[in-house]
Structure 1
Amino acid sequence: MRKKKGRAAALLLSAALSLSAVLVTPAPTAAVTTADKVPDPRVSSATVTPAAPGVGSPFGVDLTFSQNVENFDYDTNSDEFDCIKIDVSEASNSISVSHKTYFAENLSTDPGESNNIVLSYDLHMQQKDLKRIGSGYGVLKFTITYYSKYEEDNKVIAQSKDYHDLKFTAEYLVFSKLDSSSETENDGRLTVSSYKLDHTPVKEGEKFSLTLTVKNSSSLACTHAVSVLDLSGAEGVSISGETDTKTLGNLNAGATTTVTYPLKCLSKMTTGSYPVAVSLSADDVTAASSKIYLPITGTKAGKDDTGEVGDSKPQLIIESYDFGGQAVTGGQEFSLVMNVRNTGSVPIDNCKMTVGSDTGDSDSDKATTVGSVFTPSQSSNTFFIPSLGSNASVKKEIALLPKADAAPNSYGVIVNFSYDAVVDGKRQTLTSEETITIPLAQPIRFEVGDPVLSNPFYMGEAGQISIDYVNKGKSKVYNVSVELKGNFDTEESSQYIGNLDSGASDSFQANLTPQKEGSLSGTATFSYEDASGKVLTVAKDFSCDVQAAEAPTMGGADGLNPDGTPGANPEKTGPGWKLWAGIAAGAAVVAAGIVFFLKKRKAKKMRLLEEAEDYDDTPGGGI
């Protein structure tokens, strides 16, 4: 192994000597380094374990780098280079790299074609150092530097000496993006329904625990659910003794589970609300993130305060606030009451207090307006506090009107302070910022129409019931189901409908079969959940008459048997007997008319004959 290292070192030393030879000639317009003349290493073999990690899953990588160096002589007795440092970073947004500096292993050289040398070495990255955090392509970038290495006090020291230009870069595609056809949108399936701290407010230097309640709000089960806590936005807060990834297992539809993260704060922190992101994912479910805020009380006056100077700077905090309940309602005005305290040892004056919204910008003046979600109602969003003594407090109240069509969510309200104070004999203008989280809900307007039945019903025969329903609210309703109860038989006694978007409507239909005469009655109960998981119900009663089933008609269509005799039920012979009875009555009337006409005609004829006879008997009549 030492000989192989010597050959590699000889190669790189010779490269440096070649550079010197080039520099003896007239200087070119641009500097040419050894690294410019040697091609970058490439990955000749790779193993990723597992080969296709899911979102939130750790994975390991074993790589072998090869570098083909041309037209350089080497001295096998040279041993200048025997250390290769590899700095690792991610070139996409899908990999988290926790350990970023490595030293190559198994350094060796082999003769290539002509006067070429092939330099090779290995890189091993453990699963605890890498994690997939996105569904896109995963690319690792390597910055490779060749050093000499020696030991000092039993500690390995790497130095580049005069060969600082021997630096190369390489990239490798670790995994491809996930197939979109194998994923479904989260669509609210995994959400952080609530969270709590074991104590609040948390002070700098303290240990505390964060407990999350995760809910599967969909109608489908989630398998292999994973929670990942991202503390990148909460500088000074870290996980104590555990990883940021927690396995939640399988969650049935509507099920909840809790997960706890042990956290700790640095000894010196700035007072404020620190944003923490929670990423939730499962098999066939894309990752969805939620943001929560950790209230932490500290003594640092700002990011540049090291704690060594300026400890006497006064700090303004919102020690408590009240907005009237668990959540505000869109379109309904509410009052936000804030208690502001000066935690410093010196008084402050000329304080400007501005209430605004968290727009997600990094600018210091991002809280100049309340924003599109909350609007001041008949007042300004700015307060003036003339002075506030050490450890004194003042109450401020502002009326806010939430946007009527704002999506149900928790929205951050930022309070900025700008004030003057005399610190260490010098008058200074100081600033601080506080964040308040206010949950907003929209009223649920799930309406159910009156049941419509095919009245009347007949005993033993199925009739239909139809009930229309609509979501007139601006929030989605979840897990809608219907249950039928009453004095009837039905195959649709319980039916699951699912989630209903805002503005969506449909109709529930079922067949009901009464078993006795009289009256059919029952209740249709619709149950559903709001965004917070609260179960609500709407019940609709219905009833109708039930008649005896019609007896079957015997004989022909007219109620008569083929021989002309009445059928088995002459009282219910159907419409045929009426038709024939009408025909018979008409025939009788016609016959009576004919008889009357014939009799009248015969009488007239007899009268004419009698008159003729009388004429014949008259004297002088005839011939």
Structure 2
Amino acid sequence: MKTQGKKEIFGSLMIVLFLSFILIQAPLPARAGTITIDSIDPVLLIEKVSSEQAVAGSDFNLTLSIRNISNNPGFNLNLSFKVEGTDSLDPFTVKDSQATTIDKIDGNATRTVMVAFTVKPEAQNKDYKLIVNLSGQNASFQNTVNASTTITIPVTYDLTKPVLLVKSASISPENPDLVEGFDVHLQIWNMSKTTDARNVTLLLDGTDNFEVMEISNKKNIVKLEKNTYETVTYRLRAKDTRANNTMKLTLKFDYLGDKTESVEETINLPLPREDVGIGATPWVIINKYTLSAERVLAGNTVTLRLYIENTNQRPVKNVKISLGVIKIEDSSSTGTTGGKTTGGTVFSPVNSSNSFFIDYIPGKTVLEKDIDLYVDPNAAAKTYIVPVEIKYEDRKGTTLTSEELVNIPVTQECKLQILSVQVPPTGFMGQPIPVTAEFVNVGKVALGNFIVTLEGDFEKDNGTYYIGNFDIGVSDMFQGGVIARDEGKVEGKLVFSYIDNNNKDVRVEHPFTIEVQGRPVPPPGQEGEMMGPDGLVKPGMPVKGMPLQKGSFLNTVKTKWPTFLLGLVIILEGIYIWRLKRKKASEEFFNE
């Protein structure tokens, strides 16, 4: 009994010592108001994560198990995702119809959530680290929930079809002559472990960097078996426009009967960067220029389009482009300038000055700029050389200058004015019917090879009038005749033809119509004799029953009566002048 009592006393002492030790180690209670104990916050964990296989270009599901290890419920829980090392989810996207929120998880409860993702076709064949974040609120709707975990998502290709890519690219020789050419060896790999690729077509595009020296840039592989590669060789040389070492390769192939596929890759050749031709000084030039009209007519407005090119890889800035002053002739000017003065009267910019500004031109870039120019109406017809000055700064701020020349041909209006064309409406058969015209050059350029002609199915009297060079402001007249051999309507035209200042043939026509009548017959006498003015039959005149003999005097008079009439007038005028002189001489005789 004594022994048992001692054991009970000893046990009680040990309990007291143990409790005393706990009290000593425990911190003293804080003063009221210094410690806030929030007993309603939930504690959530993301566990039991599983994922389907992620294949590039397809969908997969991610399953998450979320457990609340506290007695307090969590509300308005939201899941968010991003790829480790980035601020985005690329190459994954959450499907639009997928919900990523949970209304509530009770205390000591577990919820399973399935999230559907899409993998982009261009995703790489590697493992991606996907960070999953969970946020939410407690019973007081305070944002107190925060949980996170990292999941490894391996992305693979769909190996049920061929997956072709360029495994490697090498050149030979190691230090090639880029001008003479070099060989490029491309290893084409079929990554698929199940399917062969057939009728593989390779199309190589060297862009602005390289030129294929072979007959064609197209090569073919009959069959590329699964998980194998084949080497294809091209002969290339560098272009003058080479900017970098890249080129494009397009692969097309068949598989599983009638299925086809196409893929494009950008290949960066292992050439040293110092071989890329980048000059130290950038040049800005006028690559080309165009005019809105083939004929720049004086007095009109023409649009000049400049193609401004930065030929270097390096950009330029603060570009100022100015149209220079054009020298024009001025007959009123005197002095040592040789009759020339400067001025801006030939081409005047419309709604702008003769300068314009460009902030920035990237390397290897061509910009277009349109300038509307008014052409002086009095400008001479010729080609004007317009200087274009270009000032710009390189990346160091150094001001550089270049000058280009633009040729603008100016023409003046060709204008022929026909003042009058006179053609009688009727005429007689066999007699010349006069055709006259008066015309003047009212344009501002001479007309070359100027000819006036009568055209029609009839005989012509002076039917062609050749002037040659018809100068500015000169007038002239055409006189010709139409001789018709038959009665009836005669149609013809008076044609003015010349070559204008654009070396083009110009033809101006004036049609006319003449009603041709028979020959005029004198009135008959008794029994049909041809009577004279006094009513008597004159010698040499034909009588009834006597035809007019060819070549007779009367026939000659009838056919050429204008000539005889003119001769008769001259004879009468001579007789009149002779009589006046005789009378004057007689008067002088008597006066003596």
- Tell me whether the two structures share a fold, i.e. TM-score over 0.5: no
- Normalising by structure 1, report the TM-score: 0.37
- Normalising by structure 2, report the TM-score: 0.39
Give the structure with higher Rg (CA). 2
